[in-house]
Chain A
C-alpha cells in the first residue's frame, strides 16, 4: 500500500501539473481538495481519467468521486480494491 501511495503522489503531481509540490509534501490523510493542493473540478475529472488509464477503474458517479478523492489514503484504498490493471 505504501508503494501505491508514493506512486499516486508522483502521478498526481505530474497529471495535475503541480509544479511546485513535492511527493514529501503530500500527506497521506490531508484533504486533496479544498485548501491543501487547491485542486478544482477539472482536476477531479483528470483524476477520473487517471484511474481509468492507469488502473482500469471507471468512475461515472460524481458522488462516489467525492469520497474516493478525499485523500491519498482513501484513493489508495479504493484503487487496491478495484484495480483491474
Chain B
C-alpha cells in the first residue's frame, strides 16, 4: 500500500490565531482556559474560547483585498474553519481528484433558532458545502461526525481514501465551538471542572471545553525535506457502554495494536504519545490501563487539553498537528496541569519542556459511544 504523507497544516486556537502563534504560546506554557460567563449558562464556566473580536479582525485581514465575500454572513465556526484553511490551501492546487473532509460534532448548533425553516443552522451538509464552495472544491464534502475521535479519524480516513485511489489528496478541516448546547450537556454529566483541567493528575475534576479549528493537507505525493507520513492507524470500538469508556481500555488497546501492526513496528519504536487526556476520572484511568496493556508505560506522554481545553471534533486534528510540530522541532511539550500521579497505573507524564531527537509519535483519541482512534505519525528525513 502506498505511503501517505502529511503536507501543510494550520490551526486557529484559544492561544493563537495561527499555527506559529499557537506554537509560540505552547512553548511558553500558556493555557487558553479561563473563567467565562457564557450566555445562557447559569454559572461561571472554565472554558478555552477564541475571542470573537480578535477572530473577526484576523478573519477580515485574511480575506483582505480579495474580500469578495462581504455580502455573505459567516458564523464563528465558519470563520474559524476558513481562517485555518487559507494558509493550507495556498500551498496546493485543488483538482477534481482532491477530496474535502470536514470533521465536526455539532457544527453550527450554537446558531440554532436563528433561522426560519428546516433547521438550516443544524445542517452539517450545508456548513460543509459553504466552506467547500468558498475554496472551490470540486467534490462534495465528506463529513465525519464520530464523536471526539472525528478529527483524528479524518486523517486516517484521508489516508485510506488515498490508498484505495479514491482521490490523490485530501484537505481536512476540523472545528467545533463551545456552546450552551454542549456545556449544559456535559454539566448534566458532572464532567466539567470549575478550574483549569489537570489531565492524569490526582486532583483532576473533569474537563474544560474549548473551541478551535485545524486544517491539514494529506497526500500520496512524497514531499522533500521534513516529511511526515502515517505509518499505521486504526479505530476500534469498545462495545461496552455508550458514555463510559471500557474499564480495561479494550478498544484503545486494540486500536494501538492494529496501528503498530500496520506499521510493522513494536511499542519500543514510539518516541512519545499525545493522548486524549480529558482530565475526567474515567477517561484518564482507562487510557493508563490501555497504555500499560500496550507495553507503552514508559513512553513520554502528554495531553494537550490543559492548553486548549477539549475541542471535541477539532481535538483529534488540532492535537495531531501540534504533535507533528513536536516531531519537527524535536521538542517534548509538558502535559499542562500535571503534578501528581492520579491514575492507578503510573504514566511517564512529560513535566518539563525538553529537546531530544523524535521520530515517531502515537496520537490517540477516544469518545462517546466507545470510539477510539490511534494514529502513528513518523518523520522521514531526506
Contact = CB atoms under 8 A, between A and B. Distances in A.
- A contacts B directly (C-beta below 8 A): yes
Interface of A: 40-42, 45, 48-49, 60, 62
Q: Mostly helix, strand, loop or mixed at chain A's interface? A: helix
Contacts of A62: 190
A41 B190 contact: no
Contacts of A48: 190
Interface of B: 188-190, 241-244
A60 B241 contact: no
Residue of B188, B190, B244 with most chain A CB atoms under a 10 A cut-off: B190
A41 B188 contact: no
6 contacts: A40-B244, A41-B243, A41-B244, A48-B190, A49-B188, A62-B190
B241 A45 contact: no
A45 B244 contact: no
B243 A60 contact: no
A42 B189 CA distance: 8
Contacts, number: 14
Contacts of A41: 241, 243-244
Contacts of B189: 45
Contact of B188 (A40, A45, A60): A45
Contacts of B243: 41-42
Contacts of B244: 40-41
The 3 closest A-B pairs by CB, nearest first: A41-B244, A42-B243, A45-B189
B190 A40 contact: no
Contacts of A42: 242-243
A80 to B, nearest CB: 24
Contacts of A60: 190
Nearest to A59: B190
Contacts of B242: 42
A49 B190 CA distance: 11
A60 B242 CA distance: 22
Nearest to A61: B190
A62 to B, nearest CB: 7
Contacts of B190: 45, 48, 60, 62
A60 B243 CA distance: 19
A12 to B, nearest CB: 17
Residue of A42, A60, A62 with most chain B CB atoms under a 10 A cut-off: A42
B207 to A, nearest CB: 15
Contacts of A40: 241, 244
B146 to A, nearest CB: 20
Contacts of A45: 188-190
Nearest to B282: A41
Nearest to A65: B190
B187 to A, nearest CB: 10
Nearest to B189: A45
A45 B241 CA distance: 15
Nearest to A41: B244
A72 to B, nearest CB: 23
Nearest to B241: A40
A42 B185 CA distance: 12
Contacts of B241: 40-41
A65 B252 CA distance: 30
A54 B319 CA distance: 42
A39 B200 CA distance: 28
Given A41-B243, A45-B188, A49-B188, 9 more contacts: A40-B241, A40-B244, A41-B241, A42-B243, A45-B189, A45-B190, A48-B190, A60-B190, A62-B190
Contacts of A49: 188
B191 to A, nearest CB: 9
A41 B190 CA distance: 11
Nearest to A42: B243
A51 to B, nearest CB: 13
Nearest to B281: A62
A38 B316 CA distance: 34
A60 B189 CA distance: 11
A62 B282 CA distance: 13
A8 to B, nearest CB: 20
A48 B187 CA distance: 12
A11 B140 CA distance: 47
A42 B241 CA distance: 10
B238 to A, nearest CB: 14
